[in-house]
Amino acid sequence: MSIFGNIMSSIFGHGAKAQPMPGGAGAAPTSTPASKPGAAPASAPAGNPAVAPSQGPVDVEAVLTKLASQNKEKLDWRKSIVDLMKLLNLDSSLAARKELAHELNYTGDTNDSATMNVWLHKQVMIKLAENGGKVPEQLKH
């Protein structure tokens, strides 16, 4: 699965735990590292029925706020792509973020990690909203 697919699956899976999806599709593990060699190609995750919410949009902010409240580390997931990935127990290394940038068609310099990270966070929130997540406007800017 792509890194963005792992992000989406982790968030939507937490949002759908009360309402399991038919066929067990919502039972994907959420702590699998995202940057395995030979992982699924970076295809567009849109329309992936395994992570599409079944009972309306998943409240992304509520899911992440709940996860953050249960995490002993103080993570600024609202602003930091690194902290967002850590909160979801995903690989947040520079290599993983560069791979995510490639998946999301980042055209900037991936060696400028600060600029790339800001762009990644914004794009992840936009893509979550495009794929059925309820994301507050301030998180998409």
Domain ranges of the chain: 3-26+49-140
Q: pLDDT digit string (tens) for 3-12? A: 999 999 999 9
Q: What confidence tier does 129 reach under pLDDT thresholds 50, 70, 90? A: very high
Whole-prediction pTM = 0.73
Give residue for tokens 């992840």: 124
Q: Model confidence at 15, in pLDDT bands (50, 70, 90)?
A: low
* Range in 16-20, 88-92, 94-98 the model is least confident about: 16-20
134 forms beta bridges with 59
